[in-house]
Structure 1
Amino acid sequence: MRHPYEAHRSFIRPAWAARETWRILVMIVSFEIVFAVSPTIFSAFLPSDAAVNAFYEGTTAFGTLAQFASFGISAIGFLVLLRLLHGRRFWSLIGPAHAAKRDLIRVGRAVAIWLLVFEFLPPWINLADLAEVRDFGVWASLIPLALVAVLIQVGTEEMIFRGYLQQQCACISESPWVWMVLPSVMFGGLHFWNGNGAAEGTIWAIWATALGIACADLTARTGNLGAAIGLHMANNVFALLVVGVQGWPSSGLALFLYPYEDPALYAYGIEALLSPWIVFQLLTMLTTVLIMWLAARIALRR
């Protein structure tokens, strides 16, 4: 019987030539610097102060698109570091181009269909509670740009966590705890700062860790990043395009907008994690990750 992760062996092969631990550590530290300065570099190319302000606020369509597109600066910096420290190029992180494109489309489409189905299930959006419903024609016209911007953002994250880190960690140990779980925990930890407080940040971190594990599993099964990018991209596109809160970051592309609320109202302490409603919220989010992963497995037939 074929091992489910047989394709993973060929996927990690490009990392074997320069697999020393010190290279990974230097790469991580150097990329953190690149990532920190990327918004400043990106904003330097914007045409006006108004555009720069919109970029940093992320509450308009332009601002949200610009924030996601700015990940391209980080991607370029990462690829330069990869070349300098490992002598590797872009496609060594992605896997076979044809297979990656095929799996991205299959999984992205399958996960998007399931997420669309969920949108029609209760609890339904109560239009009376909304502050704004954006013009449908304008909103629909922005979807292609949103897909490109999200592909840049998701592609960058997958290239780093399920590409580089998964490959390099697999060269250190064959244990999934090392090459699957460790990069996913790192990925999840970065999402802690998406929350408005310790409790919400922890929920974000746990959810993102689970998403990372799902994407790592798909990458190991297929031997390329296409499936992971497809799942991650479908998730992020729906998160951006459907529901947002007025005045909150990354709300510029949402069709339905709830009235502005002070984010400090959601800055719950870590003790709130024991609250039934937060436990329910976390379980719901994890169940969604599980369903997306199953949809991807069915689409791939693996």
Structure 2
Amino acid sequence: MSLTGIPLSYEPLVAPARPRRQIWRTLLGLAITGAVYFGWMVGLAMLAAWYQGVPFDRLLYRVATGADPWGMILLLGGFLGGWIGVWVAIRLLHRRRLGSLLGRAPAVLRDFVTGVVILALIGGGLTLVMMPMLPPLTLRPDVPVWLAFLPLALLGVLVQTGAEELLFRGYLQSQLAARFVRPLIYLTLPAILFGLAHYNAEERGADAWLVVGSTALFGLIAADVTQRTGNLGMAWGLHFANNVLAMLVLSVTGALNGLALFEAGTLAPDMARPLLVADMLVTVAVWAVCRLWLRRR
């Protein structure tokens, strides 16, 4: 523990936030990021609608549902606006470099790979164990098309997960840690906001709040490994591997499935909730392995 009350491992991300740690700056930074992201997404959709010669509202629907490959690519590409928004906010309001939110490049790369491997092995393995709980899987009929889109899709997921980690764990968490010091605030608040950002009552119905809880749990785990590693690499790697499995390999919810290789049939009404609980248990298991790995190295 440092003299400031922040774990020494977390100091590299928190120290650059201290000179301009006022809450008004952080709130304004979030607003700037949101505005830039929204503007980028709308501009990208307008350009795509013009290029494809389709009505703007129809293009927006394709992007929002992610039901076809190009709709998913545009949705993921829109998150580049999140990167730009955070960069604009930290330059204007905090005089910080983008690298100060990420950590040292070699450590980021090392921990990113570690996070991907841990989630792929533990999360993927436990997902296979839960396969009997799922409806029969369907292999998409156009596998060559899936393979053709795969490199661009992987880059898109890298951008999307990186943008979310940069905002919630990189920017918001470090600014709150510099201002409040208490882990209950700087770890929990970004995780709750991360969960609320995934609230979708129209799609998930009665389970919408359970999805928020599941996502917030992942956010809390990502926050913990971020403060213990002093960089975004492991959290980003866990997030990337999780979304690759959910978006590009196996779609269970039926949403954002335009790039999924396998799709599960319609879930019975009484199966969605047990699967969400099981997913939360898998997340805790992945976190336990991450903590064990960090303790041993």
**Would you call these one fold, judging by a TM-score over 0.5?**
yes
- CA, structure 1 residues 125+69, in 2 after alignment: closer, same or farther (shift >3 Å)? farther
Instruction: State yes or no: 1:280 paired with 2:286.
Output: no
Residues 141 and 110 (structure 1 numbering): CA distance in 2 closer, same or farther, change over 3 Å?
A: farther
Partner of 1:36: 38
Q: TM-score, structure 1 length as denominator?
A: 0.84
> How many residues were matched structurally?
288
Is contact 1:106–1:299 with CA below 8 Å preserved after alignment? no
> Which residue does the alignment assign to 1:106?
114
Aligned to 1:273: none
Structure 2: stretches of 5+ with no match in the other structure: none
63-72 vs 136-145, which moves further: 136-145
- Could you tell me which residue of structure 1 aligns to residue 234 of structure 2? 227
Paired residue secondary structure (1:257): strand
Give the letter aligned to residue 284 of structure 1: A
In the other structure, the counterpart of 1:193 is 200
What secondary structure, in the 3-state scheme, does the structure 2 residue paired with 1:148 have? Answer: helix
Contact 1:108–1:230 (CA under 8 A) maintained in structure 2 = yes
1:173-192 mapped onto 2 (5 Å cutoff): 173-192=180-199
Per-residue deviation, residues 112-162 of structure 1 (Å, max 9, x unmatched)? 1223323432434878x4565334444344333222111100100100110
Q: Structure 1: how far apart are the matches of 2:67 and 2:113?
A: 29
Q: How does 1:1-302 map to 2 (within 5 A)?
A: 5-46=7-48, 47-50=51-54, 53=59, 54-124=62-132, 129-130=136-137, 133-193=140-200, 196-197=203-204, 199-244=206-251, 248-258=254-264, 280-300=274-294, 301=296
Amino acid at match of 2:280: L
SS of the aligned residue for 2:260 comes to coil
Instruction: Give the direction of change, closer, same or farther, for the CA distance of 1:122–1:30 in structure 2 (3 Å limit).
Output: closer
Q: Please report the RMSD computed on the Cα atoms of aligned residues, expressed in angstroms.
A: 3.0
- The residue number in structure 2 matching 1:272 is none
For residues 21 and 176 of structure 1, what CA distance do their matches in structure 2 show? 16
SS in structure 1 of the partner of residue 263 of structure 2? strand
Query: By how many angstroms is 1:44 displaced?
Result: 3.0
Contact 2:246 2:252 in 1 (8 A): no
For 2:99, give the aligned amino acid.
W
Percentage of pairs with the same residue: 31
Which whole-Å CA distance do the structure 1 matches of 2:16 and 2:211 have between them?
32
2:200 is paired with a residue of what secondary structure? helix
Deviates more, 1:224-233 or 1:113-122: 113-122
Per-residue deviation, residues 183-213 of structure 1 (Å, max 9, x unmatched): 1111111111276255322011101110011
Instruction: Report the alpha carbon displacement of residue 22 of structure 1 after superposing the two structures with TM.
Output: 1.1
Describe the SS at the equivalent of 2:115.
helix
Distance 1:150 1:213, change over 3 A: same
Any conservation in 2 of the 1:194–1:204 contact (CA below 8 Å)? no
SS at match of 1:251: coil
Partner amino acid for 1:252? G
Amino acid paired to 1:118:
L
CA contact under 8 A between 2:40 and 2:78: conserved in structure 1?
yes
* Structure 2 residue identity aligned to 1:81: A
8 Å contact from structure 1 (residues 34, 77) kept in 2: yes
Report deviation, 1:179: 0.7
